[in-house]
């Protein structure tokens, strides 16, 4: 299984999970079988809020799931339409998020849990 997690800077598995999917500077792509980590710069970081194209962001990479702290409705629906599951993690680091996923302790997000805007610090407002 391949997962993508938004981060601000690459510190490998110790990278803090970034607060919002669409505005993350980069993503770590993790192969859960090998625990291999690939860094992918966000090619859609400068989009207008609500206009994120998650599949453009991840390019041609095969991703089975995304783990986020926050995500907008458009990106969430884009992933779901492509068969990619989206999970919420309150884990502080990528390693925390991966451990929680592997222990089946993450909640899969639905539209009601998506971001409806950002505060001054860039954090999400959730419905």
What are the angstrom distances between the C-alpha of 17 and each of 12, 42, 60, 81?
A: 11, 14, 22, 24
Instruction: Name the pairing type of β-strands 85-88 and 65-68.
Output: parallel
More confident residue, 3 or 43: 3
Mean residue pLDDT of the chain comes to 80
Over its C-alpha atoms, the chain yields an Rg (Å, rounded) of: 13
What are the chain's domains? 2-126 (3.30.420.130)
Q: Taking residues 71-84, what's their average pLDDT?
A: 86
Per-residue pLDDT tens digits for 33-75: 999 999 988 765 554 445 555 666 676 788 999 999 888 888 8
**Total-model pTM:** 0.81
């Amino acid at each position: 299984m391949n997962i993508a997690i938004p981060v601000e800077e690459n510190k490998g598995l110790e990278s803090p999970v970034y607060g919002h999917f669409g505005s993350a500077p980069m993503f770590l792509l993790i192969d859960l079988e090998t625990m291999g980590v690939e860094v992918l710069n966000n090619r859609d970081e400068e989009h207008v809020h609500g206009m994120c194209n998650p599949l453009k962001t991840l390019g041609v990479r095969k991703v089975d799931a995304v783990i986020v702290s926050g995500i907008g409705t458009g990106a969430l629906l884009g992933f779901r339409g492509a068969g990619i599951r989206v999970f919420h993690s309150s884990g502080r680091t990528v390693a925390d998020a991966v451990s929680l996923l592997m222990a089946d302790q993450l909640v899969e997000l639905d539209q009601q849990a998506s971001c409806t805007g950002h505060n001054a610090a860039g954090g999400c407002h959730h419905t």
